[in-house]
Structure 1
Amino acid sequence: MPRKPRFFVPHIANHVIQRGNNRQAVFFEEEDYQTYKNYLYEAAESSGVKIHAYVLMTNHIHILATAETTDGISLMMQKTGRFYVPYINYKYERSGTLWEGRFKSSLVDSDFYVLACMRYIEMNPVRANMVESPHAYKWSSYHKNALDNHDRLITSHDSYLGLARTKKQRLSSYTNLFNEHLDEKVLKDIRNCAQTGTPLGSSRFIEQIEKNLKVKVGYSKRGRPWNVVNQD
């Protein structure tokens, strides 16, 4: 079976998901989470990638990032894995693959779509019933985006900056977004797009991507405005 294509366009956000092999754990103790963050930061810096949101779950990760080049996201993930996998194998005296094949990804339209994807990512631990609120989970970008705690991984997306003129107002506006649950259809569309590689956005956005890449992407049937199985 041929691999599903992945689409990358410079300066457009991308939702990246990578899972542990056979859904097994990829983080085992706090040192592992921090080590992964360190490697990810170095890889993002050297690959020209800006990270806007992330969550490190026990057996998978989510990242929302924008690259300066077409291959930036792939380079970032390759470089991170090149250091993190040997670190885990050596530390826990294991061998073999750690991740479940290639990472999955989908381009994300700006404004509502980017902000919805950020909320989706940072609410992962809540949906997984690990914590009752996103601020109670240590390994996510919520602490930077909502609480302004230092996190060198994060570079604010323009959609986030557009929430308000001042930092205080932005933090308040962003936090208020979490007072309402994401619509079930929105959740389904974010999951579907990441799973299938379909760009997440309006029909116009997808048409622009197709024009840019000179290839058809996604589904033949276009919805409104959320285009389109199911996993966090």
Structure 2
Amino acid sequence: MARLPRLTLPGYPHHIIQRGNNRQMIFADKQDFETMLALLTESAQKFGVAVHAYVLMDNHFHLLATPSTAEALPLMMQAVGRSYVRTFNQRHGRSGTLWEGRYRSTLIETERYLLACMVYLDLNPVRAGRVAQPGAWPWSSHAHHLGQRSDKLVTPHALYWALGNTPFAREAAYAALVQASIGHGEQVALTDAALRGWALGSADFVAALQKKSPRRVTKAKPGRPPSVRKIMVK
């Protein structure tokens, strides 16, 4: 069965996941992490992608981003992927592929899932057992949203700005969201939607998206379509 093209539409937030091949390490040291952040910053600006949140783990990374055009996100990810692999291979004396195929991504409903997705990304290192608190992991946008660091890669989303009228109020409100965490169901939904490429949101949101894309935005219902039965008239 031919794989579906990625679901990418401008103006919508996308949750993106890129994994290392066979779950292998893609960041071996501090310089690797810094190289990826520099490439993402450069390419996001070049191609018109607003990155709202991110987390870089040892063998994968997540982005939450809104592309300005239909081609902006694919172009950014292609440029970053190629440049990073070339640099990584040269530094570590290796060759061949680094990524587990193409990156995975999908659209999420802004009002319902954007802040939840930001929290999900921040808590990724905690769930993985790498740190006890999200602030202890330096390779995410968590510190930026708490006002502890200025991150050139990050373009805060309007929903983040709406958390408070002052920087202190926004940072405190967001810190409270992270402290409250998100439910297991939301974690699973965010991961599954991105990996499978199906839009995540309410029925109305999905229906509106489907009108804008020729590609199916949700999984088809299982089973055969209902057949038309002939009615025998005596």
Coarse TM-score class (shorter-chain normalised) = over 0.9
SS in 2 for 1:15: strand
Displacement of 1:212: 1.1
Q: Percent identity?
A: 41
Matches of 2:60 and 2:53 in 1, distance apart? 14
State which structure, 1 or 2, has the greater radius of gyration over its C-alpha atoms: 2
1:132-167 superposed Cα distances (whole Å, 9 cap, x missing partner): 010000000001012341100000011111111211
Shift of 1:7: 0.8
Given residue 205 of structure 2, which amino acid in structure 1 is its aligned partner?
F
Taking the aligned partners of 1:215 and 1:191, their CA distance within structure 2 comes to: 20
Matching of residues 22-41 of structure 1 within 5 Å: 22-41=22-41
Q: Which residue of 2 is the match for residue 228 of structure 1?
A: none
* Structure 2: gaps spanning 5 or more residues: 222-234
Secondary structure of the corresponding residue to residue 212 of structure 2: helix
Answer yes or no: is the 8 Å Cα contact 1:4–1:196 preserved in 2.
no
Amino acid paired to 1:207: A
Q: CA deviation at 1:220?
A: 4.1
Q: How does 1:67-216 map to 2 (within 5 A)?
A: 67-216=67-216
1:180 deviates by: 1.5
Mapped partners of 1:209, 1:134: distance in 2: 33
CA contact (8 A) 1:108 1:200 kept: yes
Distance 1:220 1:148 in 2: 44
Tell me the distance in 1 between the aligned counterparts of 2:200 and 2:118.
13
Stretch moving more, 48-57 or 205-214: 205-214
CA distance in 1, matches of 2:209, 2:148: 33
Q: For residues 189 and 31 of structure 2, what CA distance do their matches in structure 1 show?
A: 34
Distance 1:216 1:30 in 2: 40
For 2:214 and 2:208, how far apart are their aligned partners in 1? 10
Taking the aligned partners of 2:209 and 2:165, their CA distance within structure 1 comes to 30
Retained in 1: the 8 A contact 2:16–2:194?
Answer: yes
Q: Distance in 2 between matches of 1:110 and 1:194?
A: 15
Confirm or deny: 8 A CA contact 2:206 2:217 kept in the other structure: yes
What's the TM-score once normalised by structure 1's chain length?
0.92
Matched to 1:185, the amino acid is G
Query: 1:3 maps to what in 2?
Result: 3
Name the CA distance, whole Å, in 1 between partners of 2:152 and 2:197. 28
Q: Output one character per residue of 1:80-118: Cα deviation in whole Å (capped at 9) or x when no partner.
A: 112111101111110000111000001011123100001
| Alignment gaps of 5+ in structure 1 | 222-232
> What's the CA shift for 1:71?
1.1
> 1:194 & 1:67 partners in 2: Cα distance?
16
Change (3 A) 1:167 1:27: same
SS at match of 2:211: helix
Tell me: CA distance 1:215–1:4, structure 2 relative to 1, closer, same or farther (3 Å).
Answer: closer
> Is the aligned partner of 1:219 residue 2:223?
no
Q: Distance in 1 between matches of 2:99 and 2:67?
A: 22
Corresponding residue number in structure 2 for 1:65: 65
For residues 18-61 of structure 1, give each alpha carbon's deviation from its aligned partner in whole angstroms, at most 9, with x where no partner exists. 00011000000001100110011111111100100000000000
Give 3-state SS (helix, strand or coil) of 2:65's partner: strand
